A and B are shown apart, each in its own frame.
Chain A
Amino acid sequence: MGMNRKQRYEQLVRDYGGDMYRVALWLSRDPAIADDVVQEAYARAWKSIDKLKDIHAAKSWLLTIVRREHARLYERKRLETVDMDDVILEAPQDSDPAQRDTIRTLRLAISQLDDKYRLPLVMQVFGGYSCQEIADELDCSTSAVMTQLFRARQKLKVALTDDSDNGQGVVHELY
């Protein structure tokens, strides 16, 4: 016997609820909005769970719902600059101080990326998508996605380099 509707839904919450919240948070950069988005997204998922034929595609399916829900609810209201909450920027206290600084620097840099760079990065990390898969999802070319991801990572790399003792750290050429 397969899982029933409720069991499938519960599994989606257990397996992916946390990551979907994180996706919503990195898209919105606001914990309250992320909370709204992920709840709306799961409400939609519950209503249309029968359309999910392949449970192995669930994460991708949910990620698409979250992305669309965020766009539907909040994209037009988004402010140009958003100050990330300190709680979000703060790395776990049990990590060593240098590592904490690195994570904080990266979180700040990620939050400051343009949407066109941040969205494919979030899809790549949380969805495990390849450039081709992101391109299919966003209806653009693979080379465009590769450029966006390259530039996103390049910017993050520069942010880390700038943060390492004003140039005392090893600066690697990007090409």
Chain B
Amino acid sequence: MNSTELKRALLADPTHLEPEQLRALEQDGELRAYFNEALELDGLIHQALQVAVPEDLEERLQTINCGEAANTTSSVLPTWLKGAALAASLGMVMMGYQLLGHGSLPDEIIAHIQHEPASLMSDHPVDIRDVKALFADFDLQLKAPLGKVTYLTRCRIHGRSGIHMVLDTAQGRVTVLLIPSTKMDEMTEVQGDGLEGYVLGLRNRFAMAIIGQTGQPLMQVERLMRDALAIQSKA
């Protein structure tokens, strides 16, 4: 791939980088500057597309389309939590959910967890095959058990498609976010809204955030993740 083709590919999709592109970025300062510019534009595009959603949309979708079930009382979340979830999501819309380049990574991590309050509510263990399958999409292999995973999804954070996972540990629920193609030179604290933790680099390939309630011990989870994860090298 020559320089023109590389730039074309980087501008077209700055969040899914091929090994060849990563190597070129490491070696070429001008290309890195171009890439940073493409990332900045990507962040602005994300912000621009996040238009406000009608406040009653969720309620309408729940009641109109789910008529036969709407009269029952069982639900994933209790009513007061549903309200909190709705308020949180609407709040995020109102403040213009900050994506890549427009808020620090720690702030984005807190905002992201707040944006998905249901992630901390589920008791249902995620099938290990699903865990392995999603991890494989990111060239990650499980070489040791993770314990009880109660939430797992692919999500977009810091402008990249990553993994959002919640582990149910003896000390309570711990959120783990794995963000690919994100280098972290040092561990950075994450704090806000009753949540606390840190984000650190994982072999120069991922940023890994480990977040719990304030005061919750997290080192064990970090060790667990380090022991359990193997990053497959790309050809």
Q: Tell me the bound Cα distance from A59 to B164 in angstroms.
A: 14
Q: Judge whether A112 is part of the interface by a CB distance below 8 angstroms.
A: no
Q: Contact string, B46-69, partner A, CB cutoff 8 A, digits 1/0?
A: 111111111001101110111001
Majority secondary structure, A binding face: helix
Instruction: From the candidates B15, B51, B69, B124, name the one contacting A1 in the complex (CB within 8 A).
Output: B124
**Contacts known (A56-B152, A110-B45, A128-B154); A39 close to B61, Cβ less than 8 A:** yes
Q: Judge whether A115 is part of the interface by a CB distance below 8 angstroms.
A: no
Nearest residue in B to A157 (C-beta to C-beta)? B41
**B118–A11 contact, CB under 8 A?**
yes
**A106–B48 contact, CB under 8 A?**
yes
**B11–A7 contact, CB under 8 A?**
no
Q: Tell me the bound Cα distance from A111 to B122 in angstroms.
A: 38
Q: Tell me the bound Cα distance from A14 to B130 in angstroms.
A: 21
Nearest residue in A to B130 (C-beta to C-beta)? A56
Q: Which residues of A contact B7 (CB under 8 A)?
A: 174-175
Q: Contact string, A20-35, partner B, CB cutoff 8 A, digits 1/0?
A: 0110011000010001
**Contacts known (A39-B61, A46-B66, A174-B11); A110 close to B49, Cβ less than 8 A:** yes
Q: Tell me the bound Cα distance from A21 to B55 in angstroms.
A: 12
> Closest CB-CB distance, B120 to chain A, in whole Å?
13
Q: Tell me the bound Cα distance from A60 to B18 in angstroms.
A: 22
Q: Judge whether B13 is part of the interface by a CB distance below 8 angstroms.
A: yes
**A106–B75 contact, CB under 8 A?**
no
Q: Which residues of B contact A73 (CB under 8 A)?
A: none
B51, B96, B153, B154, most chain A CB atoms within 10 A: B51
Instruction: From the candidates A5, A39, A125, name the one contacting B65 in the complex (CB within 8 A).
Output: A39
- Between A and B, 8 residue pairs with Cβ closer than 8 Å are A22-B51, A35-B54, A39-B65, A54-B130, A91-B47, A94-B95, A110-B48, A125-B46
Q: Which residues of A are interface residues toward B (Cβ below 8 A)?
A: 1-7, 9-11, 13-15, 17-18, 21-22, 25-26, 31, 35, 38-39, 42-43, 45-46, 54-56, 59, 87-88, 91-92, 94-95, 102-103, 106-107, 110, 121-122, 124-126, 128, 130-131, 145-147, 149-150, 153-154, 156-157, 160, 172, 174-175
